[in-house]
Amino acid sequence: MAVRLQKFLAEAGVASRRACEPIILSGRVRVNGEPVRQLGSKIEPARDKVTLDGRPVCAKRKLYLALHKPRGCVCSRKDEHGRPTIFDLLPKEWHSLYSVGRLDFASEGLLFLTNDGEFALRLTHPRYGVRKKYVATVEGPVDEALLAQFERGVWHDGDKLKAERARRISSGGPQSVVELDLTEGKYREVRRMFESQGLTVKRLVRTQIGRIKLGELKIGRWRTLTPTEIKTLLS
């Protein structure tokens, strides 16, 4: 059965479907030895030979993992500063996977990894509105007025940052604990929201993506997502 070339590349784990488009336009992809630069071109995976930069591209078994990312590691395969990475926690045969979105070095919690570019796109592109839930431990008091402001939106370095929902779990003494639901996934979004109000996040944990919760998954451990969970995330 014929499929679009960018869909085939995404399903082979090259990149998301959107990210595969400039790769095709650049002429790096060949089908049966001929460069293909036309978006929307179709191939028959069982018959056609596809290469990227001269290397064969084959359809892969799709993998979907949930990882409890620890604090103090990065989401890249390698780090120029020699810091630990999430791939140090995985079997070597799964080092070709890539993270679905990221958590920064100091953050922890639920992270998905996959070789399915379409799955990654559906969970990270703002138009799909997949909710991510975070629990932030913050220095100082956080009142209801501030939470309402987060739901209206705040500005930081020219970006409008907005929580779909913000609620206080606890407050009192030197710290507050706040739960926020976000859908856009901008760079360091939660930390920047609090920074815009002069507050510092001491600990940040992502506890849920879509309907999938971190649950009892221990720090540094991973598990495969079930077919039902994958279907739920894509619905």
List residues with catalytic annotation.
Answer: 104
Cα distances (angstroms) measured from residue 195 to each of 82, 155, 156, 188, 228:
28, 10, 8, 10, 38
Residue holding tokens 């907005």? 162
Amino acid at 49: K
Residue holding tokens 């799955």? 119
User: 187 burial class (0-12, 13-18, 19+ CB within 10 angstroms)?
Assistant: exposed
Sorted by sequence, the CB contacts under 8 Å of residue 214 that are 6+ apart come out as 68, 109, 110, 205, 206, 207, 208
